[in-house]
């Protein structure tokens, strides 16, 4: 079987939720405008590094969703998002802190790691390049609020960055956060992942894969702060046997389990 970071993190959040998604084929309907826009924006970033028309790419990619029935947050609209996106692309190009050599090879890089039992772990790294002249694994995020950058070193606890450092063997990681707010901002957050932390992540992956392959899917339910995962869980309708909630939030896909690692491309 092939596993990804998304699968492992989904299992750790709630094994029952993993079962719904990866064994039974339930998927959350993709209606959040911010998430769809984030994917379009990453394609525009790739165009920027390939010296193509990045604003044109953003208009083209995001244009495909102009009339789609997406859920916009208060104050958001199709036009507002594209305006923010172009502003962020211009700013990113002006700041010129990130370099990607040979972008055809160093963007969306597939990495595979063998696991015990003949399983494998697949990750897609957004980029391997340089920040301010220093080599680093780079991950892009688009968001509406700043990422925490204090206390110093807090980013070294981000499990997705630990995962990317582990699979690439590169200690330096950078999160480039494109913050879509009234005054758009770009955060360049750096961390160094220790070998100890990388190996700890490897053990976590192996233990989790062992639990999945032995069929352990207990519910980690919670509705009270801070363990209130059920409140925002797309699978709540399945756990409550509420057909209306199921129809609102989920679709069922059959025969797609072999392609689950593709989720990694969508993070």
| Sole binder of ligand SF4 in the list 188, 221, 262, 265 (CB under 6 A) | 221
Residue of the chain from 6, 7, 17, 165 that contacts ligand SF4 (CB under 6 A) = 17
Q: Among residues 57, 165, 235, 249, which is the contact residue for ligand SF4, using CB under 6 A? A: 235
Our finding on whether 236 is near ligand SF4 (CB under 6 A) is yes
Nearer CB in complex with ligand SF4: 14/98: 14
138 forms part of the interface with ligand SF4 (CB under 6 A): no
Q: Which is nearer to ligand SF4, 165 or 235 (CB)?
A: 235
Residue 245 near ligand SF4 by CB under 6 A: no
16 touches ligand SF4 (CB under 6 A): yes
Q: What is the 3-state secondary structure (H, E, C) of 15-60?
A: HHHHHHHHHCCEEECCCEHHHHHHHHHHHHHHHHHCCCCHHHHHHH
Contact call for residue 192 and ligand SF4 (CB under 6 A)? no
Q: Which residues make up the interface to ligand SF4 (CB under 6 A)?
A: 14, 16-17, 219-221, 229-230, 233, 235-236, 239
């Amino acid at each position: 079987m092939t596993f990804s970071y998304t699968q492992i993190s989904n299992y750790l959040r709630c094994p029952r939720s993993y079962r719904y998604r990866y064994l039974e084929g339930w998927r959350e309907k993709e209606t959040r405008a911010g998430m769809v826009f984030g994917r379009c924006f990453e394609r525009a970033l790739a165009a920027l590094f390939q010296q193509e028309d990045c604003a044109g790419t953003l208009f083209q990619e995001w244009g495909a969703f102009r009339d789609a029935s997406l859920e916009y947050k208060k104050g958001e609209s199709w036009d507002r998002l594209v305006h923010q996106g172009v502003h962020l692309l211009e700013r990113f190009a002006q700041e010129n802190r990130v370099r990607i050599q040979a972008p055809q090879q160093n963007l969306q890089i597939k990495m595979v790691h063998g696991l015990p039992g003949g399983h494998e772990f697949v990750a897609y790294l957004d980029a391997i390049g340089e920040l301010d002249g220093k080599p680093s694994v780079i991950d892009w995020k688009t968001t509406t609020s700043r990422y925490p950058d204090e206390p110093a070193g807090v980013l070294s606890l981000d499990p997705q960055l630990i995962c990317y450092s582990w699979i690439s063997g590169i200690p330096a990681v950078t999160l480039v956060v494109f913050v879509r707010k009234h005054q758009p901002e770009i955060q360049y957050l750096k961390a160094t992942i220790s070998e100890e932390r990388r190996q700890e992540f490897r053990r976590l992956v192996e233990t989790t894969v062992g639990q999945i392959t032995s069929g352990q899917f207990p519910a980690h339910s919670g509705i009270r702060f801070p363990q209130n995962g059920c409140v925002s869980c797309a699978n709540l309708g399945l756990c409550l046997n509420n057909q209306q909630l199921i129809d609102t939030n989920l679709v069922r896909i059959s025969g797609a389990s072999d392609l689950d690692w593709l989720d990694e491309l969508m993070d």
